Amino acid sequence: MNYAEQILAIANDNNGVVTTTQVTKADIPREYLRILVAKGLLEHSARGVYIIPSIFDDEMLNLQVRFKRGIFSHETALFLLDLTDRTPIHYSMTFPLGYNTTTVGLENIKYYRVKKELYELGVIIAKTPSGNAVRLYNAERTLCDILKGRSDTEIQIVTDAFKRYTHLDQKNIPLLSNYAKRLSVENKLRSYLEVLL
């Protein structure tokens, strides 16, 4: 199998998407990406992301590849976790304090920054609507995040998310309480849970 065939095989195994990182890890020269684009076998979707032309572009995956330190959070995480019906207008991502967010602010991203010790708290891998894996916060962390004053999440979305969460089979109330304590939203959480449980 030649380099071009190897790249197309990687893309086919990855829902029609291939990244420069994957090509480099496979010890394939990056110039073959440009060759495949020139032949019309791949399209350049975003910096470091290429797709097979018949595949729909996955903006969430593109953002995850471009901003590797970003973790989908808040309304975007609610959407991916099926805790809301609303498709996010802006994607929400969280970054560690000290991360340069200059280019992030130019994108369709509402960004948050947290202390480094809280940055990895509750990170999971889930699929975008296009079937690609991205990093986001779990349900418990996300519910705590939307309770924070600076999140600006509409009260209706917050209420609906908590109602949906209480009906989940995999809900973890002790973990939710632990996160609420670490993220300083215990009182707000208690008021929601007293009504719903």
Q: Residue 29 is part of which domain span?
A: 3-57
Q: Note whether 139 and 93 are same-domain residues.
A: yes
Q: Note whether 88 and 177 are same-domain residues.
A: yes
CATH of residue 34's domain is: 1.10.10.10
Q: Give the pLDDT confidence score for residue 47 in this predicted structure.
A: 85
Q: Note whether 32 and 80 are same-domain residues.
A: no
Stated pTM of the model: 0.79
Q: Give the pLDDT confidence score for residue 197 in this predicted structure.
A: 59
Q: Which residues contact 18 (CB under 8 A, 6 or more apart)?
A: 7, 10, 11, 33, 42, 49, 50, 51
Each residue's pLDDT tens digit in the chain (197 positions)? 899 999 999 998 887 889 999 999 999 999 999 999 999 999 998 888 898 887 777 889 889 988 989 999 999 999 999 999 999 889 999 999 999 988 888 888 999 999 999 999 999 999 999 888 999 999 999 999 999 877 788 889 999 999 999 999 999 999 999 999 999 999 999 988 877 65
Q: Are 21 and 15 in contact (CB under 8 A)?
A: no
Q: Note whether 52 and 20 are same-domain residues.
A: yes
Cα–Cα distances in Å, from 123 out to 67, 118, 155, 156? Answer: 16, 10, 24, 25
Distance of CA 52 to the CA centre of its chain: 22
Q: Note whether 28 and 98 are same-domain residues.
A: no
Q: Give the pLDDT confidence score for residue 26 in this predicted structure.
A: 94
Q: Note whether 114 and 186 are same-domain residues.
A: yes
The tally of domains found in the chain comes to: 2
Q: Note whether 100 and 187 are same-domain residues.
A: yes
Residue 50's Cβ-side half-sphere holds a number of Cα atoms within 13 Å equal to 26
In a domain, 62, yes or no: no
In a domain, 35, yes or no: yes
Q: Note whether 52 and 101 are same-domain residues.
A: no
